[in-house]
Amino acid sequence: MAMPEIGVCSWSLKVKSVPELQRLLKEVGAACTHVALGDPNHAVWDEGPDLIKALKNAHLDISATMIGYAGEDYTTPETIKKTGGFGDPATRRERLETFKRAVEMTAELGVEVLASHAGFIPQPTDSDRASFLDSLGEAADYADQKGVIFAMETGQETAELLRRTLDELSMESLKVNFDPANMILYDMGDPIHAVELLGADIVHVHLKDGRAPQTPGAWGEEVPLGAGEVGMSEFLEALAGSEYSGPLVVERASEDQAQVIADIRKGVHLLRKLITGA
Protein backbone atom coordinates (compact mmCIF):
# COMPACT_ATOMS: atom_id res chain seq x y z
CA MET A 1 0.00 0.00 0.00
CA ALA A 2 1.45 3.37 -1.01
CA MET A 3 1.72 5.87 1.84
CA PRO A 4 -1.62 7.69 2.01
CA GLU A 5 -2.36 10.96 3.70
CA ILE A 6 -2.94 10.33 7.38
CA GLY A 7 -5.33 12.68 9.10
CA VAL A 8 -7.53 13.14 12.14
CA CYS A 9 -11.16 14.08 12.72
CA SER A 10 -11.44 17.62 14.05
CA TRP A 11 -14.08 16.61 16.60
CA SER A 12 -11.83 13.93 18.08
CA LEU A 13 -9.38 16.69 19.04
CA LYS A 14 -12.26 18.56 20.74
CA VAL A 15 -11.17 21.85 19.22
CA LYS A 16 -13.27 24.99 19.39
CA SER A 17 -11.34 27.22 17.00
CA VAL A 18 -9.42 26.96 13.74
CA PRO A 19 -6.10 28.08 15.29
CA GLU A 20 -6.46 25.35 17.92
CA LEU A 21 -7.12 22.83 15.15
CA GLN A 22 -3.99 23.96 13.30
CA ARG A 23 -1.88 23.59 16.45
CA LEU A 24 -3.15 20.12 17.38
CA LEU A 25 -2.87 18.74 13.85
CA LYS A 26 0.86 19.50 14.04
CA GLU A 27 1.06 18.05 17.55
CA VAL A 28 -0.36 14.66 16.53
CA GLY A 29 1.49 14.55 13.20
CA ALA A 30 -1.59 14.64 10.96
CA ALA A 31 -1.32 15.82 7.36
CA CYS A 32 -5.04 16.42 6.82
CA THR A 33 -8.28 16.72 8.74
CA HIS A 34 -11.92 15.72 8.47
CA VAL A 35 -13.67 18.92 9.55
CA ALA A 36 -16.99 19.09 11.37
CA LEU A 37 -19.07 21.96 10.06
CA GLY A 38 -20.85 22.50 13.36
CA ASP A 39 -23.56 20.46 15.09
CA PRO A 40 -24.30 19.37 18.68
CA ASN A 41 -22.40 16.07 18.42
CA HIS A 42 -19.33 17.14 16.46
CA ALA A 43 -18.36 20.79 16.90
CA VAL A 44 -19.32 24.26 18.02
CA TRP A 45 -16.83 26.74 16.56
CA ASP A 46 -15.75 30.06 18.06
CA GLU A 47 -15.67 31.39 14.49
CA GLY A 48 -19.44 30.90 14.14
CA PRO A 49 -20.69 32.12 10.76
CA ASP A 50 -17.12 33.00 9.77
CA LEU A 51 -15.98 29.36 9.96
CA ILE A 52 -15.61 28.82 6.22
CA LYS A 53 -13.60 32.02 5.82
CA ALA A 54 -11.35 31.04 8.73
CA LEU A 55 -10.78 27.53 7.36
CA LYS A 56 -9.91 28.89 3.92
CA ASN A 57 -7.50 31.42 5.39
CA ALA A 58 -5.82 28.64 7.40
CA HIS A 59 -5.00 26.70 4.20
CA LEU A 60 -5.63 23.36 5.88
CA ASP A 61 -5.69 20.14 3.88
CA ILE A 62 -9.33 19.11 4.43
CA SER A 63 -10.07 15.52 3.42
CA ALA A 64 -13.84 15.85 3.93
CA THR A 65 -16.47 17.68 5.94
CA MET A 66 -18.94 16.24 8.45
CA ILE A 67 -22.49 17.16 9.45
CA GLY A 68 -24.71 15.76 12.20
CA TYR A 69 -28.11 16.87 13.42
CA ALA A 70 -29.70 18.38 16.51
CA GLY A 71 -31.60 15.73 18.45
CA GLU A 72 -29.35 12.77 17.62
CA ASP A 73 -28.97 10.71 20.80
CA TYR A 74 -26.03 8.30 21.03
CA THR A 75 -26.81 7.09 24.56
CA THR A 76 -27.56 3.55 23.32
CA PRO A 77 -27.80 1.86 19.91
CA GLU A 78 -31.58 1.96 20.31
CA THR A 79 -31.72 5.73 20.95
CA ILE A 80 -29.58 6.51 17.92
CA LYS A 81 -31.65 4.12 15.81
CA LYS A 82 -34.70 6.25 16.68
CA THR A 83 -33.01 9.64 16.35
CA GLY A 84 -30.13 9.29 13.87
CA GLY A 85 -29.87 10.81 10.42
CA PHE A 86 -32.94 10.57 8.21
CA GLY A 87 -34.43 7.71 10.21
CA ASP A 88 -37.34 9.59 11.79
CA PRO A 89 -39.88 10.74 9.16
CA ALA A 90 -40.84 13.66 11.43
CA THR A 91 -37.37 15.24 11.23
CA ARG A 92 -36.39 14.38 7.64
CA ARG A 93 -37.39 17.66 6.02
CA GLU A 94 -35.59 19.79 8.63
CA ARG A 95 -32.48 17.59 8.41
CA LEU A 96 -32.46 17.65 4.63
CA GLU A 97 -32.29 21.43 4.84
CA THR A 98 -29.39 21.19 7.31
CA PHE A 99 -27.67 18.73 4.99
CA LYS A 100 -28.13 21.04 2.00
CA ARG A 101 -26.56 23.94 3.90
CA ALA A 102 -23.63 21.66 4.72
CA VAL A 103 -23.31 20.77 1.02
CA GLU A 104 -23.11 24.47 0.19
CA MET A 105 -20.44 25.03 2.86
CA THR A 106 -18.47 22.05 1.58
CA ALA A 107 -18.61 23.36 -1.98
CA GLU A 108 -17.53 26.82 -0.80
CA LEU A 109 -14.49 25.23 0.85
CA GLY A 110 -13.63 23.44 -2.37
CA VAL A 111 -13.92 20.05 -0.65
CA GLU A 112 -15.29 17.08 -2.58
CA VAL A 113 -16.67 14.82 0.18
CA LEU A 114 -19.32 15.48 2.83
CA ALA A 115 -19.78 12.64 5.31
CA SER A 116 -22.80 12.05 7.51
CA HIS A 117 -24.64 9.29 9.31
CA ALA A 118 -27.67 8.70 7.09
CA GLY A 119 -29.49 6.83 9.84
CA PHE A 120 -30.42 3.17 10.16
CA ILE A 121 -31.33 1.98 6.67
CA PRO A 122 -34.69 0.17 6.67
CA GLN A 123 -34.74 -3.44 5.54
CA PRO A 124 -36.20 -4.25 2.09
CA THR A 125 -39.38 -5.52 3.79
CA ASP A 126 -39.84 -2.34 5.85
CA SER A 127 -42.77 -0.15 4.79
CA ASP A 128 -40.69 2.99 5.41
CA ARG A 129 -37.84 1.98 3.11
CA ALA A 130 -39.13 3.76 0.01
CA SER A 131 -39.55 7.14 1.74
CA PHE A 132 -36.15 6.77 3.46
CA LEU A 133 -34.49 6.08 0.11
CA ASP A 134 -36.30 9.10 -1.33
CA SER A 135 -34.62 11.24 1.33
CA LEU A 136 -31.21 9.71 0.59
CA GLY A 137 -31.75 10.30 -3.10
CA GLU A 138 -32.76 13.92 -2.56
CA ALA A 139 -29.67 14.51 -0.42
CA ALA A 140 -27.34 12.88 -2.94
CA ASP A 141 -28.95 14.70 -5.85
CA TYR A 142 -28.44 18.08 -4.18
CA ALA A 143 -24.83 17.17 -3.43
CA ASP A 144 -24.33 16.22 -7.06
CA GLN A 145 -25.67 19.60 -8.21
CA LYS A 146 -22.94 21.29 -6.14
CA GLY A 147 -20.13 18.95 -7.17
CA VAL A 148 -20.05 17.20 -3.78
CA ILE A 149 -20.14 13.49 -2.88
CA PHE A 150 -22.38 12.39 0.01
CA ALA A 151 -20.41 9.70 1.87
CA MET A 152 -22.61 7.68 4.22
CA GLU A 153 -20.85 6.54 7.36
CA THR A 154 -20.92 2.78 7.93
CA GLY A 155 -21.96 0.97 11.06
CA GLN A 156 -25.69 1.04 11.55
CA GLU A 157 -26.35 -1.68 8.99
CA THR A 158 -24.69 -4.76 7.56
CA ALA A 159 -22.45 -4.40 4.54
CA GLU A 160 -24.96 -6.47 2.57
CA LEU A 161 -27.79 -4.04 3.29
CA LEU A 162 -25.63 -1.03 2.47
CA ARG A 163 -24.46 -2.69 -0.76
CA ARG A 164 -28.06 -3.37 -1.77
CA THR A 165 -29.04 0.22 -1.01
CA LEU A 166 -26.19 1.71 -3.03
CA ASP A 167 -27.04 -0.54 -5.97
CA GLU A 168 -30.74 0.29 -5.73
CA LEU A 169 -30.16 4.05 -5.79
CA SER A 170 -27.21 3.82 -8.21
CA MET A 171 -26.05 7.44 -7.80
CA GLU A 172 -22.48 8.56 -8.47
CA SER A 173 -22.78 11.17 -5.72
CA LEU A 174 -23.74 8.62 -3.03
CA LYS A 175 -20.75 6.74 -1.65
CA VAL A 176 -19.27 5.40 1.61
CA ASN A 177 -17.23 6.85 4.46
CA PHE A 178 -15.94 3.56 5.86
CA ASP A 179 -15.36 3.14 9.60
CA PRO A 180 -14.31 -0.43 10.47
CA ALA A 181 -14.83 0.00 14.21
CA ASN A 182 -18.46 1.01 13.74
CA MET A 183 -19.18 -2.39 12.23
CA ILE A 184 -17.91 -3.92 15.48
CA LEU A 185 -19.41 -1.37 17.90
CA TYR A 186 -22.87 -1.75 16.32
CA ASP A 187 -22.33 -5.54 16.01
CA MET A 188 -22.98 -5.43 12.26
CA GLY A 189 -20.41 -7.85 10.93
CA ASP A 190 -16.81 -8.26 9.87
CA PRO A 191 -15.20 -5.03 8.58
CA ILE A 192 -12.78 -6.93 6.35
CA HIS A 193 -15.67 -8.67 4.59
CA ALA A 194 -17.43 -5.31 4.37
CA VAL A 195 -14.49 -3.80 2.48
CA GLU A 196 -14.74 -6.62 -0.04
CA LEU A 197 -18.41 -5.80 -0.64
CA LEU A 198 -18.17 -2.01 -0.58
CA GLY A 199 -14.63 -1.32 -1.82
CA ALA A 200 -15.54 0.28 -5.13
CA ASP A 201 -17.74 2.83 -3.35
CA ILE A 202 -15.43 3.73 -0.45
CA VAL A 203 -14.28 7.34 -0.94
CA HIS A 204 -13.12 8.19 2.60
CA VAL A 205 -11.94 6.11 5.57
CA HIS A 206 -12.07 6.63 9.32
CA LEU A 207 -9.65 4.57 11.35
CA LYS A 208 -11.05 3.74 14.74
CA ASP A 209 -10.83 0.54 16.78
CA GLY A 210 -13.26 -1.25 19.03
CA ARG A 211 -14.44 -4.38 20.78
CA ALA A 212 -17.79 -6.04 20.21
CA PRO A 213 -20.62 -5.55 22.72
CA GLN A 214 -20.80 -8.11 25.52
CA THR A 215 -24.55 -7.65 25.93
CA PRO A 216 -27.07 -7.68 23.04
CA GLY A 217 -28.40 -4.19 22.40
CA ALA A 218 -25.50 -2.47 24.17
CA TRP A 219 -22.58 -0.54 22.71
CA GLY A 220 -19.28 -2.16 22.07
CA GLU A 221 -16.18 -0.51 23.52
CA GLU A 222 -14.25 2.05 21.47
CA VAL A 223 -10.51 1.74 22.18
CA PRO A 224 -7.21 3.24 20.90
CA LEU A 225 -6.09 2.24 17.44
CA GLY A 226 -4.55 -1.22 17.45
CA ALA A 227 -6.08 -2.25 20.80
CA GLY A 228 -9.37 -3.59 19.43
CA GLU A 229 -10.79 -6.26 17.18
CA VAL A 230 -10.56 -4.58 13.76
CA GLY A 231 -7.16 -6.06 12.92
CA MET A 232 -5.44 -2.99 11.51
CA SER A 233 -2.87 -4.81 9.38
CA GLU A 234 -5.51 -6.99 7.74
CA PHE A 235 -7.81 -4.01 7.30
CA LEU A 236 -5.11 -1.99 5.54
CA GLU A 237 -4.40 -4.98 3.29
CA ALA A 238 -8.11 -5.23 2.43
CA LEU A 239 -8.19 -1.52 1.56
CA ALA A 240 -5.16 -1.93 -0.67
CA GLY A 241 -6.82 -4.89 -2.33
CA SER A 242 -9.88 -2.76 -3.06
CA GLU A 243 -7.57 -0.18 -4.69
CA TYR A 244 -8.54 2.51 -2.18
CA SER A 245 -5.99 5.32 -2.37
CA GLY A 246 -7.63 8.08 -0.33
CA PRO A 247 -6.84 9.42 3.13
CA LEU A 248 -6.82 7.44 6.37
CA VAL A 249 -8.36 9.62 9.07
CA VAL A 250 -7.98 8.65 12.72
CA GLU A 251 -11.02 9.05 14.95
CA ARG A 252 -11.05 8.65 18.74
CA ALA A 253 -13.96 9.17 21.11
CA SER A 254 -13.15 10.11 24.69
CA GLU A 255 -13.96 12.96 27.05
CA ASP A 256 -10.31 13.34 28.12
CA GLN A 257 -8.70 15.64 25.54
CA ALA A 258 -5.15 14.97 26.73
CA GLN A 259 -5.67 11.21 26.47
CA VAL A 260 -7.28 11.55 23.05
CA ILE A 261 -4.33 13.55 21.74
CA ALA A 262 -1.88 10.98 23.08
CA ASP A 263 -3.90 8.11 21.60
CA ILE A 264 -4.18 9.80 18.21
CA ARG A 265 -0.46 10.56 18.09
CA LYS A 266 0.25 6.87 18.78
CA GLY A 267 -2.36 5.87 16.19
CA VAL A 268 -0.76 8.00 13.49
CA HIS A 269 2.62 6.45 14.32
CA LEU A 270 1.12 2.94 14.23
CA LEU A 271 -0.40 3.52 10.80
CA ARG A 272 2.89 4.74 9.37
CA LYS A 273 4.66 1.73 10.85
CA LEU A 274 2.12 -0.75 9.48
CA ILE A 275 2.14 0.80 6.01
CA THR A 276 5.90 1.13 5.65
CA GLY A 277 6.82 -1.99 7.59
CA ALA A 278 9.48 0.02 9.41
pLDDT digits (tens, 9 = 90+) for 173-191: 999 999 999 999 999 999 9
Beta bridge partners of 207: 250
How far is Cα 32 from Cα 60, in angstroms, rounded to an integer?
7
Instruction: List, in sequence order, every beta strand (DSSP E) within the chain.
Output: 6-9, 32-36, 62-66, 113-116, 149-153, 174-178, 202-207, 209-211, 221-223, 248-250
CATH number at residue 118: 3.20.20.150
3-state secondary structure of 206: strand
Structural domains of the chain, count? 1
Answer yes or no: is 50 within a domain.
yes
Residue 1 has pLDDT above 60, yes or no: no
Answer yes or no: is 28 within a domain.
yes
Closest C-alpha to 5, from 78, 63, 50: 63
Answer yes or no: is 238 within a domain.
yes
Q: pTM of the full predicted structure? A: 0.95
Which residue range(s) make up the domain with 64? 6-276
Q: What percent of the chain clears pLDDT 90, i.e. is strictly above it?
A: 91
- What mean pLDDT comes out for the span 200-209? 97
Answer yes or no: is 257 within a domain.
yes
Residue 277 has pLDDT above 80, yes or no: no
Average per-residue pLDDT for the chain: 95
pLDDT given for residue 2 in this prediction:
63
- The confidence band for 3, taking pLDDT boundaries of 50, 70 and 90, is confident
- The confidence band for 168, taking pLDDT boundaries of 50, 70 and 90, is very high
pLDDT given for residue 155 in this prediction:
82
For residues 117-131, b (16+ Cβ closer than 10 Å) or e, as one string? Answer: bbbbbbeeeeeeeee
Beta bridge partners of 227: none
3-state secondary structure of 88: coil
Answer yes or no: is 159 within a domain.
yes
3-state secondary structure of 221: strand
Answer yes or no: is 64 within a domain.
yes
- What mean pLDDT comes out for the span 23-40? 95
Answer yes or no: is 1 within a domain.
no
Provide the CA 21 distance to its chain's centre, in angstroms. 18
